Amino acid sequence: MNSNLPLSERPTVEPRWLLPMIDAAIAFIAFALAYALRYELQIIRPAFDPLGRGFVPYIPFAAVYAILMWLNNQRNGLYRNIVGRAWLEEVYLIASGVAVSIVIILAMFFILQPLVTSRLMLVYVAALTLIVSAVARLGRRWVLAYLRNHGIGIRRVLIVGMADVGRSLLGIMLARPELGYRPVGFLDDDEGKIAIGMGRFEALGGTAELADAIRTHHIDTVIITFRWKHYDRIQELTEVCRVAGTDLRIVPEIMQLNIRQVQVENLDGIPLLGIGAHRSFSRANQLLKRALDMALVIIGFPIWMPISLLVALALRLEGEGGILFRQVRVGKDSKKFEMVKFRSMVEGAEELQEAMLRESGEDPRHPKFIDDPRITGVGRFLRRTSLDELPNLINVFRGEMSLVGPRPPTPREVELYEPHHTRRLQITPGITGWWQVRGRSNIPFDEMCEMDMYYIDNWSIAMDIEILLLTVPRVFLRSGAY
C-alpha cells in the first residue's frame, strides 16, 4: 500500500511523471508560440532579426526554461497530490514559478549576449505559460473528478467515531466525490449509533473490530475523530493501522470546531490559530442570494411561463383534479408557508401516505416511494422531469424559498428531527440543492442532512451557480427522480 509514503505524495491514477512531462511540453510550446507572435505576426511592434536564424537559437533557452519550471513547480509542491487544494492556488504557484524562471532567462540573455534576443518575447512566454498551464490544470481536475465519480482512483475510507466531526467528514466526502474519498462505513463504541447507522453507510462495529474491518472491506485510509482525552485508545488504534499498513489520519482537537472558524496566522515563525465566528449567510450574503434569485426568475420568465401554461393545459385535459397542489411546509427559522406545485397525484393522496409508510418501511422524515400508485399519468412525467416544481418559482418570488437550498420539510417530518437536523431550517429552503445534484431522491435522509450542512457551511454565489448548472443535466437525464 506504499505505507512508507505520506498520503500527499502517493501516486494517484495518473503516473508520477505525467505532470512534469506536461509542464515541460508547455514550456517548449510557450516558447514556440511566443516566437510566432513576436517574429511572424510581430504583435505590438516590429521584430529585428537581420540574420534570419529562426527559432533554433531559442531552443537551448527553452530547455533551460523547462528545467527551471520543473524545479520551481517541484519546490512549490505542485507535483504532490494535495487533496482539496484550490485551482486558483495552483495558478498562483504556477505564476510564481513563471516569474522566477523568466527572470533567470532574462539574466542569461544579458550575460551570454546571444545575437538574436527579444525581451518582449519573454513576456509572451510568461503569459502563454501561465494561460496554458492554468487550462491544463483545470482540465486535469475535470478528468480526475470524472474518473473518481466513476470509482477510479478513489480511496476507501473508514471513519472511527460518528459524532459531530465524523458526520461532518462524511458530509464533505459525499458532497465532494471529486476529492477521491469514498466512505465505506464507520466504527463507534456507542451502541445507539451502531444500531441507527448512517444512511447507506453501515456501522461496522466497535473500535475493537478495526483490524477486521480494514481487512474485510479493503480500507485504504482510516480517519479517527476522537477527542484527545481518548489518547490511550487513539494510540491503540494507531498501532492497529500501522500493522495493517493502512493510512491513518487524526482530526486535531481544535478541528472539533467548524474549520471555517479557524484562521491560521504566523507570528515570526510561531503559528497562531484564531477562532472566530463564521457566518456564510450574513445579511449582505442573504441580500446577494436574494438578488440572484430574483434576477434569474425574471430573466427566465419567457421560458418557464409558456412551459407552465402547457403543463396546466395537460393537467386540465387529464381531468383528475385541480391544476395546483398546495402544502404547508417549514421554511427558514421554522416559519411555515404554503408551497405551490403542479398536481402530480390523485385527490386524497396525503391521506394514503400513512398506510404506505407502514407497508413500505420508508423513512418518514424523507419518504420516497418507487412506483407510487398515487401518481397520475401526467404526474409521472412531471416528476421525472421535475416540471411539477415550476410553481415553486412563485414561492421564490415571495421570498419563502430560494432557487438553491435545502428542500422544505413538512411539519410532520420536522417533528421527527433530531437536534442537529434543525440546522437545515436556519436558511431559506430551495428548489434544488447540493444533495439533489449528487443523487436526488436516491440519497437517504441522514446523508441528505449532512450534505445540506456542507452547503450551509460552504455557501457562496459561485456554489449556487454551480448547483444550478449541475441541475440542468440531472433533470434532462432524469437521474434519481421518481
Q: Supply the pTM of this predicted model.
A: 0.62
Is 289 buried (19+), middle (13-18) or exposed (0-12) by CB count in 10 A? buried
**Residue 119 pLDDT > 80:** no
Q: Hunting for cell 385535459 — which residue is that?
A: 317
pLDDT at 161 over 80: yes
Specify the DSSP class assigned to residue 480. T
6 vs 129, residue with greater confidence: 129
Query: Which domains does the chain possess?
Result: 7-149 (no CATH), 155-275 (3.40.50.720), 283-477 (no CATH)
253 has a pLDDT exceeding 50: yes
Are the C-beta atoms of 13 and 152 separated by less than 8 Å?
Answer: yes
Per-residue pLDDT reduced to its tens digit, 336-358: 999 999 988 887 666 667 777 66
- Long-range Cβ pairs for the range 411-416 (8 Å, 24+): 411/328, 411/329, 411/330, 411/336, 412/364, 413/330, 413/364, 413/365, 413/366, 414/330, 414/334, 416/364, 416/365
The winner for highest mean pLDDT among 288-302, 410-424, 457-471 is: 288-302
